[in-house]
Amino acid sequence: MAELIIESFALGPLQTNAYLIMNEARSQAVVVDPGMGPERLLGRVETLGVAVEAILLTHAHFDHMGGVDAARKAWRCPVYLHDLEADWLTDPRKNGSTRWPDVTEPLTTDPAEHALEHGQTLGLIGVTFRVLHTPGHSPGSVGFHCGKHLFSGDVLFRQSVGRTDLPGGREADLYDSIRNKLYKLDPEVRVYPGHGPQTSIGFEMASNPFAPAR
């Protein structure tokens, strides 16, 4: 499998991780979760001169979709999002941006061009990303698995898990997603979460205090 070049950007007041994923030649890229205040990410893409093929959203909470509008205008590429959150991009109540007025103004953008579903494969930048539907943090949460890399959104963190107290969250679903989908991956798979440092599937199976492997 072709090597990937992955750069991360902690964006916005919640330090949401956006990922710029490039092919070996740095000629093509996809971006996962362009969050609020995406100027550094946009500037990096412009400096590199890389062509962004797609914006992949792990879910549509405001801190993960806040930069989609600016990114779309800059890159003119499609957005992919699970259908259970299809209307969240256009509804600030559903994406949560009306809940924290001290953090953000209400945010909206146009609907996603492409709907995601569990098991779907996306052929982008010369590699294949497999979609894992991982509800629990939000109903349409997904992970993007590509070789030894997993972009997990707000489902699995280093020694932690995503919150389930927001609308559409469900604790039982979250733990089912982690144990029966993510922990089925190779232990060596590197996890790139929506917030905080990277980890691995094997490390979390052995040491995550909230979701230890059974």
Q: Name residue, tokens 């001290």.
A: 102
φ/ψ region of 160 (left if φ > 0, alpha if ψ in -120 to 50, else beta) reads beta
pLDDT tens across 142-171, in order?
999 999 999 999 999 999 999 999 999 999
Q: Residue 214 — pLDDT band, cuts 50, 70, 90?
A: confident
pLDDT tens across 2-27, in order?
789 999 999 999 999 999 999 999 99
**Residues 153/194, Cβ–Cβ less than 8 Å:** yes
**Residues 35/21, Cβ–Cβ less than 8 Å:** no
**Residues 123/164, Cβ–Cβ less than 8 Å:** no
The tokens for 148 are 């030894």
pLDDT tens across 55-98, in order?
999 999 999 999 999 999 999 999 999 999 999 999 999 999 99
**Residues 103/122, Cβ–Cβ less than 8 Å:** no
pLDDT tens across 183-204, in order?
999 999 999 999 999 999 999 9
Domains of the chain: 5-207 (3.60.15.10)
Is residue 1 predicted with pLDDT exceeding 70? no
Q: Which whole-number Å values give the CA distances from 17 to 58, 85, 110, 197, in the listed order?
A: 11, 20, 22, 9
Amino acid present at 9: F
User: Residue ranges of the alpha helices (H) in 82-125?
Assistant: none
Cα-based angle 198, 89, 91 (whole degrees, multiple of 5): 130
How far apart CA 110 and CA 49 sit, in angstroms, is: 25
